[in-house]
Amino acid sequence: MEELNSYQPGSQVQVTSYSPFRGLNGTIQMVDNIADDLEEPFCFYQIVLEGTQIKEPIWFEHDEVALVTDPLVALEA
């Protein structure tokens, strides 16, 4: 089975799913890779959200978040 290219703990991400958390940024605290005989592997991210009163980390599926990059770093690459 091919390995999932997942984000690392400490990575800054933005919630992209259609949920009350859409558009919020956060920091990945933990990654839970699911190993199964599925066509595409997937994982869940435990994220500490910014700009909300919820202090506990929340779990999101891998396709519900996107990596936040610094625009200046992206331009230099």
Calculate mean pLDDT across residues 1-10.
69
- The pTM score is 0.77
Domain boundaries, the chain: 12-76
pLDDT for residue 69: 75
Calculate mean pLDDT across residues 1-28.
85
pLDDT for residue 1: 37
pLDDT for residue 10: 93
Closest CA to 58 of 43, 47, 67, 50: 47
Quick one: 75 exposed, middle or buried, by C-beta within 10 A (0-12, 13-18, 19+)? exposed
Closest CA to 12 of 53, 52, 50: 50
Q: What is the CATH number of domain 12-76?
A: 2.30.30
- pLDDT tens digit sequence for 51-69: 889 889 999 999 999 999 7
